């Protein structure tokens, strides 16, 4: 494997431990602040929503896989919108509707979503079963799962019922703003990589590394589920 490709693989794999560290719960200081403040805290919730998305490496790895081969702005907008609608529905429905799922299992599926996207990018489905599932439906479906992942983080906290609906909506707005910021950074990274002329040559290795990172995240979550 060329040295440049090895560096690419190591870059993706280096994100996995950070994703594992941030996979469960809100940071202790942020959690304490949320639990100590009642009433409307729209700015705070929006900030924490953006922060959680920008530092949630499992979400970012999946988003990177989604846009990896997209070039036209309208295609990027379509897929990112499908992902956003999906995770908005289950974030709001999970917290406000009281839908509770096991956070370890939800995050395990989120890890698998990263594996799925890397495999899809490699055209693995056509090679193995001769058929490619519609990526639009897959992105929306995994968006639903990612939304439940966000919901489980808030469900672990003791939040005041006063202003809860508005606060959760603000959190979701923050998530979307964080996603836009992350998207801009990822597009900058991809554009700079393409400018080097080595993008296509390293795409295979990068998506293999993406799958490996997703498997690592999934394995950690399943181990946590067994030990919890």
pLDDT per residue as tens digits for the range 151-165: 998 888 888 788 889
d(CA 16, CA 11): 9
Among residues 44, 48, 52, the alpha carbon closest in space to that of 24 is found at 52
Q: Please check the confidence at residue 47 and state whether its pLDDT lies above 60.
A: yes
Please name the residue ranges forming H helices in 156-198.
Answer: 164-195
Residue 65 pLDDT: 96
How far apart (Å, rounded) are the C-alpha atoms in residues 59 and 49?
A: 13
122, 205 Cβ separation under 8 angstroms: no
Every domain of the chain and the residues it spans: 3-227
- Per-residue pLDDT tens over the stretch 179-196: 999 999 999 999 999 999
Q: What is the pTM of this model?
A: 0.86
CA-to-CA distance for 141 and 40, rounded, in angstroms? 31
Gap between the Cα atoms of 107 and 105, Å rounded:
5
């Amino acid at each position: 494997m060329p040295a440049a490709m090895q560096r690419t693989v190591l870059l993706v794999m280096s994100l996995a431990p950070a994703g594992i560290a941030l996979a469960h719960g809100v940071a202790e200081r942020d959690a304490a602040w949320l639990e100590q403040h009642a009433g409307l805290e729209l700015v705070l919730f929006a900030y924490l929503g953006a922060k959680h998305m920008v530092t949630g490496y499992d979400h970012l790895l999946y988003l990177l896989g989604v846009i990896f081969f997209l070039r036209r702005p309208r295609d990027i907008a379509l897929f990112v919108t499908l992902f956003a609608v999906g995770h908005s529905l289950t974030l709001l429905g999970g917290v406000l509707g009281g839908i509770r799922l096991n956070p370890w299992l939800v995050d395990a599926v989120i890890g698998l979503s990263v594996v799925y996207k890397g495999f899809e990018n490699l055209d693995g489905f056509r090679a193995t079963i001769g058929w490619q599932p519609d990526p639009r439906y897959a992105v929306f479906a995994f968006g639903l799962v990612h939304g439940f992942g966000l919901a489980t983080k808030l469900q672990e906290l003791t939040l005041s019922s006063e202003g809860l609906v508005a606060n959760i909506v603000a959190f979701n707005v923050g998530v979307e703003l964080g996603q836009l910021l992350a998207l801009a950074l990822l597009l900058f990274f991809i554009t700079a990589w393409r400018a080097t002329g080595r993008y296509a040559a390293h795409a295979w290795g990068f998506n293999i590394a993406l799958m490996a990172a997703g498997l690592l995240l999934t394995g950690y979550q399943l181990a946590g589920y067994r030990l919890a």
